[in-house]
């Protein structure tokens, strides 16, 4: 993209068109399924373009992981074109087209939500946040004006292989700038999540925020509390689990948003041990991501909320010593866990599957300190969360030196558990391979059995047999041999 810098040096609102020889995007880099979806929409007499992050990656010479499509077809019309699709969302309806294991997001052109026709389709809260905004447009320029940042308002027309830019996104892409479209305060009030998205794109791409984009953040960040906790859970995952978690932690603290996302951790925001622990853990997760290893939400939340959980356990233990009916350590830990999750769920709704994993991970931190009971040791090694619990213990040991003894004790068990898990994975792969080969063999056999030529041969054979039998019966009758 750098070689085209001279072509996009002027930033403005006028449409800029780059032809194939100017942008250099190869169709080989574009998902054939995404192109097929666009072609089917066009065959149904709709307009359709690739848009957003996939264009950024293509211009940078990368292969995108996701391909988003923008069209003038309404969600209901898209649904009628594709049987393998579903409409999701209430705030703004979109369509997921499912192709095997891949999901393609198809959005309808956004329209001018301030027009008189849009009054019944646009609902805002008292703060100005859009609660529902199913206002559709018919023109691509309308849609571009409703997108959040200039670098996300670049379109690719697969029909003539041109790039369309309406808000200087190509210029900002070259300059490494995140710039919001429209009036920043209005756009942040409409959807406070745009604040999170601005910070996420900044860390993910290594871009700087334009002054007009960053200036209102401190003033309006409190509106994030109005966003649904389910949506915030997804946004936090995108911040911390996709390879730029450590940088996200830094920029959230810089803009004082981390304590909004995690209100129970406000008292730890200046605690250097806490900061170093979280930063170290997130850096490790970022490294895993670059190695194509999976990062999980339950481990992320276990790390972020551990310090608060520890402080609650310590406080409850202090009160417990003076209690008439003292609780066990496990009961105290369970009570502390329930309180942590309840308080955090106000901001981010953590699904039950993940909360159970967090609970298991934290409870095992106490069990891992019991290395004298042989039965406990053997039992713990066979649990599914053992290796994750050990990883967490090892992570803590970098900041709690007293844990080094326990890390060394459990290491051989961890290595054996990892070896057994690998054997099970290989065994499972082999079983899957054999089943797949058996299915292919069965299909091949069925194909051969249903071969038209083979069927014709069988019919021909049957016809010859019947002919011979008929001749034999006639001969027997002529010779008076029939009974």
Active site residue 66: yes
DSSP H/E element including 194: helix 193-205
Residues 68, 165, 172, 179: which is the catalytic one?
Answer: 68
Q: Among positive and negative, which fits the CA dihedral 70, 75, 79, 85?
A: positive
Question: What is the rounded CA–CA span in Å between residue 366 and residue 330?
Answer: 8
Pair 112, 182: CB distance under 8 Å = no
34: left (phi over 0), alpha (psi -120 to 50) or beta: alpha
Helix (H, G, I), strand (E, B) or coil at 348: coil
Question: What is the rounded CA–CA span in Å between residue 457 and residue 452?
Answer: 9
- In 3D, which of 31, 8, 41 has the Cα closest to residue 154? 8
Rounded to the nearest 5°, which phi and psi values hold at 153? Answer: -110, 40
- In 3D, which of 339, 276, 271, 338 has the Cα closest to residue 303? 276
Rounded to the nearest 5°, which phi and psi values hold at 29? Answer: -85, -10
Pair 51, 15: CB distance under 8 Å = no
Pair 433, 450: CB distance under 8 Å = no
Residues 133, 143, 148, 179: which is the catalytic one?
Answer: 148
Question: What is the rounded CA–CA span in Å between residue 461 and residue 297?
Answer: 66
Active site residue 276: no
Question: What is the rounded CA–CA span in Å between residue 283 and residue 247?
Answer: 9
Question: What is the rounded CA–CA span in Å between residue 38 and residue 139?
Answer: 16
DSSP output for 11-76: --SS-EEE-HHHH---GGGS-HHHHHHHHHHHHTT--EEEETHHHHHHHTT---S--EEEESS-HH
Within its chain, how far is the Cα of 134 from the centroid? 24
Active site residue 373: no
Residues 66, 112, 157, 250: which is the catalytic one?
Answer: 66
Question: What is the rounded CA–CA span in Å between residue 269 and residue 138?
Answer: 47
Residue corresponding to tokens 């198809």 = 106
Question: What is the rounded CA–CA span in Å between residue 106 and residue 108?
Answer: 7
The dihedral formed by the CA atoms of 79, 81, 85 and 91, expressed in degrees to the nearest 10: -30
Contacts of residue 68, defined as CB under 8 A and 6 or more positions apart, other chains included, come to 50, 51, 52, 53, 54, 104, 105, 106, 107
* CA distances to 241, 303, 361, 389 from 393, in Å: 20, 11, 10, 6
Catalytic residues: 66, 68, 148
């Amino acid at each position: 993209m750098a070689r085209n810098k001279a072509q996009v040096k002027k930033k403005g609102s006028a449409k800029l068109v780059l032809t194939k020889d100017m942008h250099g995007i190869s169709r080989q880099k574009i998902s054939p399924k995404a192109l097929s979806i666009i072609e089917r929409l066009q065959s149904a007499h709709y307009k359709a373009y690739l848009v957003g992050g996939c264009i950024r990656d293509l211009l940078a010479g990368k292969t995108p992981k996701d391909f988003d499509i923008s069209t003038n077809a309404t969600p209901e019309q898209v649904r009628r074109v594709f049987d393998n699709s579903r409409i999701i969302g209430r705030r703004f309806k979109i369509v997921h087209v499912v192709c095997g294991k891949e999901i393609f997001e198809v959005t309808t052109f956004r329209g001018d939500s301030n027009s008189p026709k849009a009054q019944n389709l646009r609902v805002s809260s008292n703060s100005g946040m859009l609660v529902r905004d199913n206002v559709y447009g018919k023109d691509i320029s309308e849609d571009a004006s409703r997108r959040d940042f200039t670098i996300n308002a670049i379109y690719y027309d697969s029909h003539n292989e041109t790039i369309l830019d309406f808000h200087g996104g190509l210029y900002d892409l070259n300059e490494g700038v995140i710039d919001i479209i429209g009036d920043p305060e209005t756009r942040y009030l409409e959807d406070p999540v745009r604040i999170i998205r601005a910070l996420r794109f900044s860390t993910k791409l290594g871009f700087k925020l334009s002054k007009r984009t960053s200036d209102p953040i401190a003033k309006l960040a409190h509106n994030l509390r109005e966003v649904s906790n389910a949506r915030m859970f997804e946004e936090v995952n995108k911040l911390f689990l996709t390879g730029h978690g450590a940088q996200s932690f830094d920029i959230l603290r810089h803009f004082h948003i981390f304590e909004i996302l995690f209100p129970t951790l406000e008292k730890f925001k200046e605690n250097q041990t806490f900061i170093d622990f979280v930063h170290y853990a997130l850096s490790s997760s970022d490294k895993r991501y670059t190695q194509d290893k999976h990062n999980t939400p339950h481990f992320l939340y276990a790390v972020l909320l551990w310090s608060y959980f520890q402080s609650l356990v310590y406080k409850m233990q202090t009160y417990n010593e003076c209690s008439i009916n003292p609780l066990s350590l496990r009961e105290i830990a369970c009570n502390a866990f329930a309180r942590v999750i309840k308080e955090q769920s106000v901001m981010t709704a953590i699904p039950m599957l993940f909360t159970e994993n967090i609970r298991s991970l934290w409870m095992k931190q106490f069990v891992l300190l019991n290395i004298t009971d042989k039965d406990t040791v053997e039992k713990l090694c066979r649990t599914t969360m053992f290796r994750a619990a050990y990883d967490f213990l090892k992570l803590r040991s970098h900041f709690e030196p007293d844990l080094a003894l326990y890390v060394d004790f459990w290491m051989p068990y961890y290595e054996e558990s990892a070896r057994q898990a690998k054997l099970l994975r290989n065994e499972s792969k082999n079983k899957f391979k054999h089943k797949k080969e058996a299915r292919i063999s069965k299909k091949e056999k069925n194909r051969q059995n249903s071969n038209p030529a083979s069927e014709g041969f069988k019919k021909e054979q049957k016809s010859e047999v019947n002919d011979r039998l008929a001749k034999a019966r006639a001969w027997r009758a002529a010779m008076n041999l029939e009974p």
